[in-house]
Amino acid sequence: MRRVGSREQHYVVMNQDGKVFSGILGGQFQYSEDWSKAKPLPLLNTTMLMTEPGTELIKEEELV
Over residues 12-28, the pLDDT tens digits come to 999 999 999 999 999 99
Torsion of CA 27, 9, 61, 53, to 10 degrees: -40
Q: Are strands 28-32 and 20-25 parallel, antiparallel or unpaired?
A: antiparallel
User: Given this model, what pLDDT does residue 4 score?
Assistant: 58
Does some domain include residue 11?
A: no
pTM metric for this prediction: 0.85
Question: Could you tell me if residue 3 is inside a domain?
Answer: no
Q: Specify the pLDDT at position 1.
A: 47
When pLDDT is cut at 50, 70 and 90, the band that residue 5 belongs to is: low
Please give the Cα distance from 13 to 42 (Å, whole number). Answer: 10
Q: Domain range holding 23? A: 16-53
Residue 38: inside a domain? yes
pLDDT at 2 over 70: no
Q: Domain count of the chain?
A: 1
- Confidence (pLDDT) at 30: 97
d(C-alpha 64, C-alpha 54), whole Å: 23
CA distances from residue 26 to 5, 18, 23 in whole angstroms, order as listed: 35, 22, 10
Whether residue 5 lies inside any domain: the answer is no
